[in-house]
Chains A and B, each alone.
Chain A
Amino acid sequence: MSDTASSRLLSGRSLAMAGGLVVVGLLPLAAGASPYMLGLLISSLILAGLGLSWALLGNLGGMVSFGHAAFFGVGSYASALLAAKLGVPVLLAIPLAGGVATLSSLAMLPALRLSGPYFALAILAYAQIFRILATEASWLTGGAAGLQRFPGLPTVFGFNFAERHGSYVLVLGMVVLCALIYVVIRRSYVGIALRAIAESEDATRVVGVNSTLLKTWMLMLSAFIAGMFGALNAHIIGFLEPDYAFSGIWSVMPIIGAVFGGYRSVIGPVFGAVVIYMFDQVIAKSLIPVGHQILLGIVLAGMVLLAPNGLAGLVGRIFSRTGGKHHARA
């Protein structure tokens, strides 16, 4: 790993991982999944992208966020409003919405000086404030009644993104792209320095690392990714209201998914979000119609206690024990 950071930011292994993700991701299409199933998978991939953005901040930035719903919600509203009121093409509005979420994250910069629980709860406070602001600013957002008339995903070169298969492919592509960005950053000197900061901030700063600046970048990037997935979700769902766009679900599900899959790896949050969401929607909901999240809570608590590095950590352990013979994919 000695020259990883310099020459080959994208190694063969990470490209293989991306390829694998695409192949696995396309399996449901090949298998002819029902529109209902595809709809669930799209939602789970939205959460996967959100989980990546949460893990990026948590793993590289060393900051636990209990308020990623803030960025998600800002992204959804920004994209819907840009498309509806200013007529911005939807595929352009989505990255712009990521930019708006990044701008909103700048309001949180003072929180970067806070440690651990204080940062976590400060972000939670921001999410609440944004939700209430979205409700109160009804001249712009339609208030509690919500926003309904905004464009869905377009058709490009005859490829209809608004239709389930098209949406699925688009969201899958975005998840893979974000995973690659994450890999590149993690292997760069910035990523290495960030991990060192998480271990010992002072010792890293005395060799010339501007820890506040690097953390700021991670917060901004995390907000950008979360905002883009919020925007994607808005155009797919076609309806927004503050209690939905800023719902605590968008803060909680990525955490559960990332911890379940292993937030210290890149693949973990993606895999974890998909498994957890499908488990919640398909199994937990049928067992316990109201209060099914109790099962998610049990899974989360169990993972933190028994396998704090998630499934990715477990798989890694099995690999190192059996010398890589095992093809454990959990």
Chain B
Amino acid sequence: MTELILQALFSGVLIGSVYALVALGLALAFGAMRIINLAHGELVLLAAYMAYLVESRTGLEPYAAIPLALAVVSAVSIALFMLVNMIRDHRELNSLILTFAIGIILTNAILLAFASDMRTTTSAFLQDAVSFGDVYAMRGEIIAFALSLVLMGLLWWWLKASWYGRAVRAVSSNRGAAMLMGINPTRIETVSFLVAGALASFAGVALYTMSVVQPAVGHALTVKAFIITVLAGVGSIPGVFLGAVLLGVTEALTVTLASSALQELAGMVLFLMVLFLMPNGLFGARARRG
């Protein structure tokens, strides 16, 4: 039993690191524009299918699809941003509905192009088991975990050190003041969506190498990413990582201790509990009340 729990904790941490990438993309777009992109999970899904495309057509390792995924997903992300930017009235409500609609379009486009079958990597290299004492992981999971940590580190450094990073933070804390300082919010928002798209690209390819994807997964990923930002707030990268790991571990433990049918329920209950009991998130981030 102890081994099972240890294994669940370990798997939860590994998948949680990829959830963190997904959630950071959502948080970045939210931070810049105050808009929840309900199609964000579909961007991740799109990248996962690019990996499937490259692997099934060329026989290369899925990570060879990164350039293609980056190109396609960034393009879609920017297109999405431009559409959201066209909204004039009732921005909050209409942007929710618009990004939701784009999510429906992407899900069904993927369904049309790739059918509803479940897909995962066929790479023997990535599916090889690696053991760490009593617990096991696929090599793909370990690589995805390492990749996520590196990307989070890069993102942290970029937000802290670069001019863009400072400007992003300025725009998200006070749009008017940022404009007075000569920062063009549209440019910053564009960059935020680009980076969100890039994160989604890596997350999607990583997800394909360690888990199963099918068209309906996109929506579920958006919900997971949203749950994580509720757990963590959108303020800090370590916070998002911890929130994501908490969700991954909760899901994995539920599957191990109860049943896989309850996996989704666990995440939702966690979400509602934090929402109501700790209105500032686990790590005391910004308020979300009207």
Give the interface of A toward B (CB within 8 A). Answer: 58, 64, 66, 110-111, 113-118, 120-122, 124-126, 128-129, 132, 135-136, 201, 248, 252, 255-256, 259, 288, 290-294, 296-298, 300-301, 304-305, 308
Contact = CB atoms under 8 A, between A and B. Distances in A.
Interface stretch (B59-67, B103-111, B169-177): B103-111
A301 B96 CA distance: 11
A117 B36 contact: yes
Interface residues of B, number: 44
Contacts of A201: 290
Given A111-B275, A252-B104, A300-B104, 19 more contacts: A116-B92, A116-B96, A117-B36, A122-B272, A126-B272, A128-B264, A129-B269, A132-B261, A132-B265, A290-B116, A291-B112, A293-B108, A294-B111, A297-B101, A300-B98, A305-B83, A305-B86, A308-B90, A308-B94
A116 B223 contact: no
A252 B38 CA distance: 13
B179 interface: no
B57 interface: no
Contacts, number: 118
Nearest to A288: B112
B102 A301 contact: yes
Contacts of A64: 93, 96-97
A125 B268 contact: yes
Contacts of A305: 83, 86-87, 98
3 closest cross-chain pairs (CB), A and B = A115-B290, A297-B104, A294-B108
B105 to A, nearest CB: 4
A118 B275 contact: yes
B193 interface: no
Contacts of A300: 97-98, 100-101, 104
A132 B289 contact: no
Interface in B33-83: 36, 83
A125 B272 contact: yes
Contacts of A126: 272
